[in-house]
Amino acid sequence: MTASNKQTWSAGVITLFPNMFPGLLAESLAGKALAAGIWSLSVTDLRDFGVGKHRKVDDPPFGGGAGMVLRGDVMAAAVAATAAQLPQNVRRIYLSPRGKPLNQNLVADLAESTGVLLVCGRYEGLDERAITASKLEEISIGDYVLSGGEVAAQVLLDAVIRLLPEVIGNAESHRHDSFADGLLEHPHYTHPRDLAGDAVPEVLISGDHARIEAWRRKQAEALTRARRPDLLEMQKARDKSKN
């Protein structure tokens, strides 16, 4: 592929804390890929769309209750402006603990798309009408509550970026990723062969690739059964629905 027909995967982020970006994504694999133009990042400061002299972005919830709610008019304007800088029809995602859980399948789908628009919330949340009017898909990175969507957005982006073509440059390196085949990843070993009396499993130095592959598969299955039996149940349900 020549430089001219390389496609850049585009991320747009809406946040009240633009200085938090690229954050972790400026370093290592994601940082190098950003510098190489494999992905791009445009950050929208929600405050720029605030109303009035004080650029207000939030108000108390109708019906009462604690905290503040991000205004729907402010967010809708920020989404429209950010979407205009991104490829058409990118998925619009609102990071929220109420959302559909992020998993490796969803990450892989996003990596195959042209990019994402990510909305980071703060305070008690976002006016529901902005979610519907801007067609935001709600995604959660886990069953806990963060103080805002920025860390969740970086988690999502990190997981996607490492799958982009040319980032690792070797599809084989993802073949055994945890979750890639519905299982947790097998254990890894390197030098020294004996670590304080704990020796590398003999099979791994046998040179017998078929045996090694079978051993790794068995280890992955045993680990998954012990730690994440829910993954095996999900796999069973998927296999059943295929038949």
Q: Is beta strand 115-120 parallel, antiparallel or unpaired with respect to 91-101?
A: parallel
CB of 98 to ligand ADE, least distance (A): 9
CB of 61 to ligand ADE, least distance (A): 17
Query: Among this protein's residues, is 124 annotated catalytic?
Result: yes
Residue 212 is encoded by which pair of tokens? 């090694």
CB of 136 to ligand ADE, least distance (A): 12
Region of residue 7 (left: phi > 0; alpha: psi -120 to 50; beta: else): beta
CB of 95 to ligand ADE, least distance (A): 4
CB of 57 to ligand ADE, least distance (A): 16
Closest to ligand ADE by CB, 22 vs 97, is 97
Phi, psi of 194 (to 5 degrees): -125, 115
CA dist 225 → 92, 189, 194, 215 (Å): 35, 21, 28, 15
CA dist 23 → 19, 26, 69, 150, 154 (Å): 8, 6, 25, 9, 8
Give me the residues paired with residue 172 across strands: none
Residue 67 is encoded by which pair of tokens? 């905290």
Closest to ligand ADE by CB, 62 vs 144, is 144
Closest to ligand ADE by CB, 10 vs 96, is 96
**Residues of this chain that bind ligand ADE (CB under 6 A):** 95-97, 140-142, 144-146, 149, 152
Query: Among this protein's residues, is 97 annotated catalytic?
Result: yes
Of the residues 73, 177, 185, 221, only one is catalytic, namely: 177
Q: Cis (ω within 30 of 0) for the bond into 192?
A: yes
Cα 53 from chain centre: 36
Of the residues 124, 137, 158, 221, only one is catalytic, namely: 124
Residue partners of 52: CB distance under 8 A and separation at least 6: none
Of the residues 18, 22, 87, 97, only one is catalytic, namely: 97
| Residues with active-site annotation | 97, 124, 162, 177
